[in-house]
Amino acid sequence: MSRAPRGGGTQDRQSEIVVFAGRDMEEQGRRELEGQWGRVCDRLRKEIGDKAFKTWFGEVELGELKLGKIRLYAPTRFVRDWVGRHYGDRVLAYWQSVNVEVKNVEVNLVPPPTPRRPNEIIAVPPVPSSPGYAQPMPRLGPAIGRGDEVVQAPEGRYTFANFVVGKPNEFAYAAARNIAEQDRPLPERNPLYIFGGVGLGKTHLMHAIWHALRERDPRTRVLYLTAESFVNKFIHALRTKNTGAFKEMFRNVDVLMVDDVQFICGKETSQDEFFFTFNSLVEQNKQIVLSSEKPPSELHDLEERMRSRLGSGLVADIHASTYELRLSILQSRAEAARVPVPAAVLEFLAHKINTNIRELEGALNRVVAHGQLIGREITVEMAQDVLHDLLRQADRKVTVDEIQQRVSSYYNIKLAEMSSPRRARAVARPRQVAMYLAKQLTTLSLPQIGKRFGNRDHTTVMHAVRKIEELKVSDNSIAEDVELLKRQLQG
């Protein structure tokens, strides 16, 4: 159970310092308070039993003592109300027995946490401090839109040190490092264009460049923003007739990084502005780093001159991850979190979750969180259990061929009927079921599915999908057929 103190705002902290006069005193006071809370918890546990204690107090955290009032924090409204109503008096009584100064106890809802990315790993050690991190970035020109949006703060743990290098990403990694280490951009390597699938580390590398550059020279002006944010700011500037300020933002940067540039495709006015910004910085020999989910050649809806310009520097791709890379990322994450996770579990995850690194991390987080919160031993079975929804998806690689075979043998018709033009109910209905399952269980589009069923039109497939959806509601036997087939195919 979490006993991490949850300090109030800085305001509270400051007034606490006054009470205890000095930092050491403050810490001592804190420790004493935690000791008292520990004793109160022990008595509570004895009285209400382990189970009830875990249920209600398992995630309640100690806040602070101020002017005789103890503040506790509950994770949800429900727990807050329940604990307050049913245990408030007891908590107060126990507390008074260990500290007479306490006059009342208040249960609050936990203050909203500092925004955490959903994929952030639990219990990561503090990020190695770099001079740039934790300091607000310098304002680059006047604010546009909401002030703090001007520059996006980099993610602290996205450093080179935390980036695991393997075959799929070694080139992109080397290229990124090179930028962080060179004094002047080499024209033939400018821009650096990193591309690769979702969740493979593009943003991580860009933030790592940011950290490294600022570590080298805190005065370096690095501007990182997503293409989406670029477009939004530009549109805002147009709307408020303040394009001057928008341009000003880019004027003095040393390095410009734009993440997910594929977003700009098809947005013509923004594209022009981006191109203009881009060119003027290149002319000044400023380094530019771009990332994208696609190689330059596949940026459709982008003017040709721009496409060739974006790819005119160094293009580095990140390939799909390999088992080895996934495993070493998991190992390094588990190590960083200081949670012993058995090798077999890491191997299991690296083997099963092969989509992207973000999902991989998410899976590890879930397993670790389960282990910590529920106190369950981390084993392969436990991971399987905790991740069953994710693993189902990962395993869900059903093909149209399999579907057609299963369905035709289930209904006892010839496989060829799946693609035949016959419309008799006896074959048409099973065919519709198969189309429905193809839509549900594969990632194919309606036209792709139609093709596999005797070159039928996508509207026919759509009709089949709707029909079966309707029948599943009105006709129990169809609903059962579909469920059974689905289970067989996925099992």
Query: Using CB distances below 5 to 8 A depending on partner kind, what does residue 482 bind out of Mg ion, ligand ADP, none?
Result: none
Q: What minimum distance in Å lies between the beta carbon of 311 and ligand ADP?
A: 18
**Ranges within 454-473 binding ligand ADP (CB under 6 A):** none
Rounded Cα gap, residues 341 and 335, in angstroms: 9
Rounded Cα gap, residues 345 and 483, in angstroms: 31
* Contact between 262 and Mg ion per CB under 5 A: no
Nearer to ligand ADP, 117 or 139 (CB): 117
Pair of tokens at residue 184:
């002047």
User: How many CB atoms sit inside 10 A of residue 430's CB?
Assistant: 21
Candidates 247-255, 279-287, 356-364, 368-376; binding stretch for ligand ADP (CB under 6 A): 356-364
β-pair type (61-66, 192-196): unpaired
Q: Count interface residues toward ligand ADP (CB under 6 A).
A: 18
Q: What minimum distance in Å lies between the beta carbon of 141 and Mg ion?
A: 25
- Name every residue whose Cβ is closer than 8 Å to that of residue 101 and which is 6 or more positions away in sequence: 65, 68
Q: What is the DSSP string of 463-487?
A: HHHHHHHHHHHH-HHHHHHHHHHHH
**Ranges within 174-233 binding Mg ion (CB under 5 A):** 202-203
3-state secondary structure of 95: helix
Query: Using CB distances below 5 to 8 A depending on partner kind, what does residue 229 bind out of Mg ion, ligand ADP, none?
Result: none
Q: What minimum distance in Å lies between the beta carbon of 126 and ligand ADP?
A: 16
Q: What minimum distance in Å lies between the beta carbon of 202 and Mg ion?
A: 5
**Ranges within 313-342 binding ligand ADP (CB under 6 A):** 329
User: How many CB atoms sit inside 10 A of residue 110's CB?
Assistant: 17
From 71, 247, 309, 358, residue interacting with ligand ADP (rule: CB under 6 A): 358
Check: CB of residue 132 under 8 Å from CB of residue 214: yes
From 80, 204, 286, 431, residue interacting with ligand ADP (rule: CB under 6 A): 204
**Ranges within 87-126 binding ligand ADP (CB under 6 A):** 119
Backbone angles phi, psi at 411, to 5 degrees: -90, 5
Nearer to ligand ADP, 282 or 288 (CB): 288
Nearer to Mg ion, 116 or 219 (CB): 116
Nearer to Mg ion, 202 or 326 (CB): 202
From 201, 296, 313, 430, residue interacting with ligand ADP (rule: CB under 6 A): 201
Q: What minimum distance in Å lies between the beta carbon of 427 and Mg ion?
A: 48
User: How many CB atoms sit inside 10 A of residue 151's CB?
Assistant: 20
Indicate the residue whose CB is closest to ligand ADP: 201
Q: What is the DSSP string of 368-414?
A: HHHHHHH-----HHHHHHHTHHHHHHHH----HHHHHHHHHHHTT--
Q: What minimum distance in Å lies between the beta carbon of 136 and ligand ADP?
A: 22
**Ranges within 20-79 binding ligand ADP (CB under 6 A):** none
Query: Using CB distances below 5 to 8 A depending on partner kind, what does residue 357 bind out of Mg ion, ligand ADP, none?
Result: ligand ADP
* Contact between 202 and ligand ADP per CB under 6 A: yes
**Ranges within 127-186 binding ligand ADP (CB under 6 A):** 158, 162-164, 169
In the sheet with 104-109, reading across from the earlier edge strand, the strands are 61-66, 69-74, 104-109
For the chain, the distance separating the N- and C-terminal CA atoms, rounded to the nearest angstrom, is 37
- Name every residue whose Cβ is closer than 8 Å to that of residue 255 and which is 6 or more positions away in sequence: 179, 209, 213, 220, 221, 222, 223, 286, 287, 288, 289
- Exposure string of 404-418, with b = 16+ CB inside 10 Å and e = fewer, is bebbbeebebeeebb
Rounded Cα gap, residues 255 and 213, in angstroms: 9
Q: What minimum distance in Å lies between the beta carbon of 216 and ligand ADP?
A: 22
Nearer to ligand ADP, 144 or 164 (CB): 164
Which spans of this chain sit near Mg ion (rule: CB under 5 A)?
A: 202-203
Site residues for ligand ADP per CB under 6 A: 119, 158, 162-164, 169, 196, 198-204, 329, 357-358, 361
